[in-house]
Structure 1
Amino acid sequence: MRVDVRALGACNRLTQRGAEQAADAVAELTGTDLAVEVTGASVASGEDLAEAFAGRESIGVSVGLSGGLDGEAVLAFDAAHADALLSLLPGGASMGRSAVTEVGNIALGGFLDGWANYLGRAIDMTPPRYFEADGAAVLPDGALAGDGVFLFESRLDSATTDLDFAIYMLPDSAAFRDLIVGKTAPAAAAGAEGAAGDTGGSAPGANTAVPYESLSTFASLAKRGSANAADNIAMMTGLDTSVEVSRLRFVPLADIPAEVGVEPYAGTVFELQGEIGGYLAILFEESSAEAVAASMLPTEPDDPLGGMAENALCELGNVMTSGFIDGWANVLGTSISHSPPEFVHDMGSATISPLVAALGRRQDYGFVIDAAIRTAGVQARCDVYALPNERELAAALSSLSEV
């Protein structure tokens, strides 16, 4: 099976619009303005999903799907904000889980309307099931047993109250497979924006069909590269280091700066060169950058992020980047090099925005590898964002399937 990247973009736009309809439904019930922060599709194994959801406590509603699309959809609120949610719902304080179940049912119905309209077939929902769950238990039964499953995820937030929540959908029907391999006729959308034939920013005629098996392989490579990068931190700093989470996601490029946020980061940025171009950013939270740099220097620097620390972080970034992409080159049978490190010290969104703008001239969506790496002792955190060129990655993955 070959995944058409343009069709996957169309599915992502359906998810975005569905999340906006869900936000409107919840806003009407609660009187709180909500915004869709980010929407994307993750390609991950069950183990990856378990890691990504570790430490979360959620309440919410799940529904089974059948008819136009089989699978399951979930609406999950942060359990820590349960009281705030109930206080906003009509009769919520007295109705408890019944109120949550009702809002979940209405919001998920709105979320799925766009998918049903696009498919031209009704999507039947089972009665909503209320849950209280830890970690990945929020996901449908069987999700963690998959190898390279697609998980559509939308996160929504309120600027005025603690009312952030997420919608997850794991489709498993033939109808979804037809969508992502580009078989469903654009006419099914009857003039709706974002039909499966939409180029999604790719050049006309560009090869954007990626073998599913190769995409799953690349997700595994991404995780292995994250582990190599963590090992290189440990080697150079002497600090025990581990990968907290690593995922391959397909997201709108325009959403990435907001997702990274406005907190100050320090680190390095590289341009990838060779048959797969793009960018790789290694960003430490500011205090983490200071601690990691200090662990690499013989004496404490006068300026925690001055010249000596900058040189140390650039040296570390060089070694991490090589470890991150070497596995890609070996498995894909191609050459991938990188530019000298560019030291950055700014808000995360300000660092990522120029990279997104450069890629955005050629594509609207991209496969993003994000990894969170933690070191023991100094409690440092490092976020790695790999942004490969979509068409060059697709061509390399297609070649891999032919070997």
Structure 2
Amino acid sequence: MEVDIQSLSTFNRLADEGATRATAMLAQMTGIEADVEVTKITLLDRADLGEELGDRPFVGVAFDFEGGLVGDTTLVFDEACTGSIVEALPGAGDGEGMVEESVAEIGNIMMSGFIDGWADHLGTTIEHSPPRYLEATGPDVLPEPTDDDQPVFVFKSRIDWPGADLGFYIYMLPGSERLIELMADGAEGGDAIPVDKLSVFDEMTRAGTATAAEHVTAMTGIETEAEVTQISFAKIEDVPKQVGCEPTVGTVVEFTGTPSGTLAILFDEASAMTVAEALLPTDPGGEGLTDAHESAIEELGNVMTSGFIDGWANVLQTSVDHSPPRVVHDMGRAIVDPLAARVGQHQQHAFVIESRMRTADLEFECEILALPDEADLRRALEDLDVARKDETEPDAERIFK
């Protein structure tokens, strides 16, 4: 079955508008003005749901919904937000269970606003269950993963809390079969994306991330593992917001062929220095990030990039080449912003391929961010032979020549 780009754009807009209505209702009830920062549709394994929540404590309000669309939605608050929520509610007291009652009440009203736009668009009724209050750490606040290990479409919105490093999230997990039917309406012509092949491309990306992690281990001796891989669909202006504002070091390349696009390999400063020094034969000398560090990062970025995209070429039976890596050192969003702007010259939304790797032994983390050209990705998926999906082994001679 296929979905068309216009349907993805429409559904992303509905989720964004729903999150905006939900925050407006929060403001109406409590006076708390929050901002919708990012809304995206993500294809990921259910087991990876909520990885961005880390290990912070959260409270949540969960709902089931049915009718024109079926599934479940969870509104997740940083636990530190709950005091402000309770205090802001008219008539709030200090009685036992007040937090639970207040959060459930707000969640119930916010979710009504979130769902209503979908019902209006579909011209049908969508009913949701009474709210279920939850308390947990990190992803445990979300619904339990199912036994089905197939990727699922998830709608995610991140809302920033005013004046604090806090926020809340809306996760919407529609039933895949019904959602794909809705997105497939009108999926004819040149902008259709085959869902099964998009899932295969996701598997290819996971294999590429694992290969890149293996190359980090081989070159540095640092045991590194691929942790999260997902394909998201988001507005161009939301792409840089998916990256933090912390000082970041990495490489950027342009890849050409089928598909074409831009790929960035990004380390936080501490991780960049750790991995670079593992590559250097001697102490680089000097303070902070030196030319020697950057040269090592450039070398590593070149090898990681080749390992990451070679699997695509093998499965797609095409040539995917990349430019020499360009070392970048700036705030994360400042690095990604011009990359997204370049893609935005010819499309309003972008498929964003996000991968992360880390090691338990050291303070080390790396993120891979790929922005393929939409038309080229569509052509690549059209030509993809699903039977070749396991043929992602890269050409070692080409990588290490």
Q: TM-score, normalised by structure 2?
A: 0.89
Q: Which residue of 2 aligns with 1:201?
A: none
Distance 1:269 1:54, change over 3 A: same
1:157 and 2:160 are equivalent in the alignment = yes
Contact 1:87 1:93 (C-alpha < 8 Å) held by counterparts: no
Query: Amino acid of the residue matched to residue 241 of structure 1?
Result: T
How many residues of Structure 1 are paired with residues of Structure 2 in the alignment?
Answer: 383
Mean alpha-carbon deviation: is it higher for 371-380 or for 21-30?
Answer: 371-380
Once residues 143 and 9 of structure 1 are traced to their aligned partners in structure 2, the CA distance between those partners, rounded to angstroms, is 27
Query: Amino acid of the residue matched to residue 371 of structure 2?
Result: L
Contact 2:82 2:99 (C-alpha < 8 Å) held by counterparts: no
Distance 1:156 1:375, change over 3 A: same
Distance 1:87 1:243, change over 3 A: farther
Contact 1:8 1:179 (C-alpha < 8 Å) held by counterparts: no
1:16 and 2:36 are equivalent in the alignment = no
Residues 171-196 of structure 1 deviation map (CA, whole Å, 9 limit, x = unaligned):
1176532331134xxxxxxxxxxxx9
Once residues 144 and 348 of structure 1 are traced to their aligned partners in structure 2, the CA distance between those partners, rounded to angstroms, is 36
- Alignment of structure 1 residues 114-153 onto 2, 5 Å: 114-141=117-144, 143=146, 145-153=148-156
Contact 2:69 2:179 (C-alpha < 8 Å) held by counterparts: yes
Mean alpha-carbon deviation: is it higher for 71-80 or for 35-44?
Answer: 71-80
Once residues 316 and 222 of structure 2 are traced to their aligned partners in structure 1, the CA distance between those partners, rounded to angstroms, is 32
Quote the sequence identity (%): 45
Q: Which residue of 2 aligns with 1:34?
A: 34
- Alignment of structure 1 residues 201-280 onto 2, 5 Å: 207-280=190-263
Given the alignment, which residue of 289, 295, 307 partners 1:305? Answer: 289
Given the alignment, which residue of 353, 372, 387 partners 1:369? Answer: 353
Once residues 252 and 381 of structure 2 are traced to their aligned partners in structure 1, the CA distance between those partners, rounded to angstroms, is 24
Distance 1:221 1:80, change over 3 A: farther
Distance 1:380 1:387, change over 3 A: same
Contact 1:70 1:173 (C-alpha < 8 Å) held by counterparts: no
| Structure 1 residue 159: Cα displacement | 2.5
Residues 40-75 of structure 1 deviation map (CA, whole Å, 9 limit, x = unaligned):
111112233375656354211111111121111111
Once residues 233 and 41 of structure 1 are traced to their aligned partners in structure 2, the CA distance between those partners, rounded to angstroms, is 30
Given the alignment, which residue of 99, 108, 112 partners 2:111? Answer: 108
Once residues 27 and 80 of structure 2 are traced to their aligned partners in structure 1, the CA distance between those partners, rounded to angstroms, is 19
Q: Which residue of 2 aligns with 1:339?
A: 323
Contact 2:298 2:325 (C-alpha < 8 Å) held by counterparts: yes
Once residues 355 and 114 of structure 2 are traced to their aligned partners in structure 1, the CA distance between those partners, rounded to angstroms, is 29
Q: Which runs of 5+ in 2 are unaligned?
A: 388-401
Query: Amino acid of the residue matched to residue 386 of structure 1?
Result: A
Could you say what secondary structure the match of 2:150 adopts?
coil
> CA RMSD of the aligned region, Å?
2.2
Once residues 262 and 55 of structure 2 are traced to their aligned partners in structure 1, the CA distance between those partners, rounded to angstroms, is 30
Distance 1:290 1:161, change over 3 A: closer
Q: TM-score, normalised by structure 1?
A: 0.89
Contact 1:72 1:171 (C-alpha < 8 Å) held by counterparts: yes
Q: Which runs of 5+ in 1 are unaligned?
A: 184-195, 198-204
